[in-house]
Every structure is written in structure tokens, then in C-alpha cells.
Amino acid sequence: MDDQTKALANPKERSPTEPVRSRWTPKPEQILILESIFNSGMVNPPKDETVRIRKLLEKFGTVGDANVFYWFQNRRSRSRRRQRQLQASLAAATNTALSFYEPSPSSSSSSSSSNGVFFTCSSTSSASSSSSSCSNFLVDDNADDLFSISRQMTNQNSSYSSSAFSQLHFHPGYMTVYINGMASEVPRGPIDMKAMFGLDVMLVNSNGELVPMNEFGILLQGLQMGESYFLVSYT
Amino acid sequence: MDDQTKALANPKERSPTEPVRSRWTPKPEQILILESIFNSGMVNPPKDETVRIRKLLEKFGTVGDANVFYWFQNRRSRSRRRQRQLQASLAAATNTALSFYEPSPSSSSSSSSSNGVFFTCSSTSSASSSSSSCSNFLVDDNADDLFSISRQMTNQNSSYSSSAFSQLHFHPGYMTVYINGMASEVPRGPIDMKAMFGLDVMLVNSNGELVPMNEFGILLQGLQMGESYFLVSYT
DNA sequence: GATGTATGAATGAATG
DNA sequence: CATTCATTCATACATC
């Protein structure tokens, strides 16, 4: 175990505003930062980077180096696990599979999508802390390649701060959500979908559920920070 | 065969194709199977066993490896917690009892255990998950789970219970998955995305992960029954 | 249809 | 990095 991994956990200090918790609960902004860094390719920050990241995160709440370290470790582990799990579970059908495959003629690849617009992204949601990452399929879950990336990144100090993270500004009244995989700054309040997208579109959250919208195409409630949504045409 | 077998007529029988299912709700038969396995001593099945178990459970409803994994993890955790509580309460009772009863030495299995059994047999052998028995959980739970089980069982007329394991039937052919929130019948085997949707799409599962696809636009594995997917254009 | 509870799911925190 | 545990969050279901 690296010395860098040695915990500097500071379990006690807790801002008076914070609820008494036995373990660190990352704030949404902190999750965004961490996800951004992770998805920007730095999946295994060295110790000094961990310290820098912790200092960044501290703008939004008490956090220790150990928390950051564990976060990345778990993030890597669970990404990889999910990846394997998916592979395995789907691979089960591979053997029985070929009999069903009929090389349908390429003549009509027309069937395209009856739906019209389809899109992207998903993730796990949760009311309080939505993790995840719509950009999963961008950089995430790629254990093998990630190492080369991280290896190549270990020396450049501020790469992440200029790539992914710096794009996320936290202006008041706005927040970042992911729509079709792209980070988007949206107002915190109700959103006029027609004004914003111009079409008859609806938003589907990462659970596949329609985001409630009134007859004027205005979302009844604000979106959830950091959450992922899909635009779906319903015309 | 009793026709009451089908009398699983739960009041809340979902339509043949389950709608928005934000979380897995195990069928009574599935709970029976899981409880049986757990109580037989396999409290921490290794991965391959998890897969086998999942396949068993799938005879009674959609379930994924992760569900099985979580089920055993939660089952262990909550059994252990109850065990600890029981221990604590018994210890407390013992302490208070000791104030009345002067400990006469060395008579071994003194623990009266009028109400409970506490045992040991630490197991936790080593790295590889000991699926082997010798568990604190063995008989552990009492009122709570038994109630739920019996409650669940009242619905069926005992057609299942013991024989649940051996029966195995697969419906080859087609299954239902959700694509962009819409139920779709797809073949169980590999799917020619090119023929089905057109060239430039890929499937993302509900974890936001890309479903592996070869260079011909054919999914390497079949999809998972009941799972939700999103079509993503990658042009 | 509000509230309580059982439990599925997620994740921080370890350990080896 | 793989596994595991403890804790917490979210929700399905029961109950009223």
C-alpha cells in the first residue's frame, strides 16, 4: 500500500452547518468535480494531485485526502466491476445466440428509428446525491485504457482543471445537468422546453421516467443537479 | 398440476411487461429460493454461484446478477446486525442476571438460552469468500423474515417450495426489453443493430455503459430481459 | 394519501 | 485492486 494511501482522515472537524455524520457525504458540487476529473481521464491521481483535488473540494464542504483517495479507488473499482458484470451477464447468451441471427438483407436498413430522436446517457439517480455520469461511455469504464491515460497524465499537473472541470462554473441560479451526455448549464427553476429546444421534446430521466411537463411544455419542476437526462421527441 | 399454481395472483400483478421498475421486487418464489440457499449455508456465494442462482431465479421473473449480489450482501449485513443486537440484549440480560447469580465455575455450556441461541463458529476463513457454511447466520433470523416468508407463501398453494430448484424452462425466441422507455420485443440472441436501427446507433444500458458491438454493428451478446436501453447515435 | 416499515440499491470505508 | 462490511438513501408495500 502506498504511503499516499495512508489516511489523513479528519473525522472530527465538521462545519457547524453540517449534520452529524459518521462518514463523508460528498456534496453535489463535489461529486461533479470528482466526476469531471475522473471522466477527464485522471482516474488514479497521485498523492499530490489528491491533495490539490481535496483543496478544490473543500470549497464546498469538509473533506479529507483520504476521502478523495477512497472515492477514486471506489470509482475505479465499481466502474470496472460494472463493466465486467455487464460483459459477463450478456456474454451468457452468446452461445445460444447464433441460431437467432438471421442476416437480414441490407436492402432496407430503412427501419432506422421509428421514434425519431434517440439519445443518450443514463446513470443511476438518487434524490439526494446523484452520482453518475452520463459521460460514462465517454471515458469511464475502460479499465485497460484508463491506465495508459492516467499514466500519461500523472505528470501534467493541471490538465484536468483546464479540460473538463474548468468548464463547470458554478454561477448562482444555474446548475449543471447532463443532457444527452453533454454537460449543460440550466436554470435551477422551471424550464421552458419549447423555448429551449424549439421542438416537441420531452425529457426522460435516467430511470426512463418522463420529467413532468405541463401542456405548455414547461417542466413543472427544476431538474436535478448533476443528473442525466435524455431528450426524446414525441412528435 | 394444480391450477392454483398460477394463483400467484398478487393484487398488484403488473402488466405482462413490467412498467417503470425502479427497483427489483423479488417474486415469492425467488425469495424462497434465495432464503433456501442462504439458510443452507451459502451466505456468500462466489461470483459463478451468483450467476447460477440468477439463472434459477430468472425462471420466475426478471433478475440480474447485481440483484442477487445485493440481496446476499444485504441479507448478510442485516442478519449480522440482528445477531449483534440479539447478542447485545442477551449480554445485557446476562449481566443483569449475573448480579443475581454468582458464577459457579467451569460448567461448560451453561448458557441457558431460553430464548435464543448464540453460537460461534467464526468461519470467515480467508480471502476467498467462504461460501461454506459455519455461519453465524445459520438459523439466525426469527420473527421478521419468517413472517415475511410465510406471508408471501400464503399466496401460493405450495406448489413450489421444494421443487423450485430443479425445474427449468426457457422460452427461446423473443423477450421484452425497453428501448428509450418503450417495450420492445427482441430476439434473445445477437442483434443486428444495423438491420434493426440503421447504421449509426449504439445501445447504452441503464448503467450508461455501451453494449459491446462488433465492427459489423452486431451486438456481441444478447440483451438482458427486462433491461432498459437507450439508443445513441454516434455520428 | 400520509405515514411507517421492510428492503433494494448505492457508496464510504476499510482490509489483504 | 478485489472483497467485504457498515451505513445510508430510496422506494415498494402495508396500514391506517
Tens-digit pLDDT profile for residues A171-186: 455 566 666 555 555 6
Residue A203: its chain B contacts at CB < 8 A?
none
Largest CA distance in chain B: 83
The DSSP secondary structure of A51-112, one letter per residue, reads: HHHHHHHTTSS---HHHHHHHHHHHHHHHHHHHHHHHHHHHTTHHHHGGG-----GGG-TT-
Q: Which domains does chain B have, with CATH numbers?
A: 25-103+112-164 (no CATH), 174-233 (3.10.20.30)
Residue B81 has pLDDT above 70, yes or no: yes
Helix, strand, coil share of chain A (percent; to 5) = 40, 10, 50
More confident call, A76 vs B215: A76
CA B102 from centroid of its chain's CA atoms? 47
For the CA of B65 and the C1' of C9, the distance in angstroms is 13
- Looking at residue A143, its pLDDT comes to 32
pLDDT greater than 90 at residue B70: yes
Closest partner CB to B190 (pick from A87, A98, A106) = A98
Low-confidence ranges of chain A (pLDDT < 70): 1-21, 39-40, 82-222, 224-235
Contacts of A143 in chain B (CB under 8 A): none
| Better pLDDT: A35 or B183 | A35
Q: What is the tens place of the pLDDT at every residue in B111-135?
A: 333 333 222 333 333 333 333 333 3
Question: How much is the mean pLDDT over chain A?
Answer: 56
Picking from B63, B203, B204, B211 by the largest number of A CB atoms within 10 A of its own CB, the best residue to mutate is B204
Show residues of chain B in contact with A77, CB under 8 Å.
Answer: none
Q: Where on the phi/psi map is residue B62: left (φ > 0), alpha (ψ -120 to 50), or beta? A: beta
Q: Could you say which of A109, A136, A209 has the minimum Cβ distance to residue B195?
A: A109
Q: Give me the residue from B195, B198, B210 closest to A137, CB to CB.
A: B210
Closest nucleotide (CA of A66 to C1')?
C13
Residue A20 has what pLDDT? 56
pLDDT in the model for residue B32: 81
How long is the CA A195 to C1' D6 vector, in angstroms? 47
Contact A133 B208 (CB under 8 A): yes
Q: What would the DSSP string read from start to end of A100-158?
A: G-----GGG-TT--TTS----------SS-----GGGGTTSS-HHHHHHHHHHHTT-TT
Instruction: Report the distance from CA of residue A152 to the C1' of nucleotide D2 in Å, as an integer.
Output: 25
